[in-house]
Structure 1
Amino acid sequence: MVDIRSPCILVCSIDVKSGFCFGCGRTRAEIASWLSLTSQERDTIMAELPRRLETVERRPRRETRRARIARQRREGQ
């Protein structure tokens, strides 16, 4: 089994203006195809992510997966 690096931080929500995920900076298409990309393709995308994240609005418009998990833990679910 191969360990595939991922920039995902469980903040899975797409900024409508930029099309980038608030958490990782990838597009929907990149997220969907991540496992089928080559290591070089993933590295190229990961190198662009810091620049992309500067363009997204900093607050998601809905509850993120990470926030939902944290809330459920606090509520004891």
Structure 2
Amino acid sequence: MFGDDHNPPDFHVRYGDYRCTVTINKGVVKGELPRKALKKVFEWMDEHHDELMANWTRLQNGEEALPIDPLR
């Protein structure tokens, strides 16, 4: 996530040479990611939805984001 990012709330994914942006509430993907990796990203996003939204709000308010357990 980036503090100066715009709505809708989203996060950025890097996987090898692949890059994409995923909206937190609707799961809209811009960019490319292998299907298996994208499935894991969606599972992680569902598990950490509240934390992602809280961090988005923090960043929009000029605060630091809190750590979220990484995708394993």
Do they superpose with TM above 0.5? Answer: no
Higher helix share: 1
In which range does the TM-score fall when normalised by the shorter chain? 0.3 to 0.5
Higher relative contact order (CA 8 A, sep 6+): 1
Q: Which has the larger radius of gyration?
A: 1
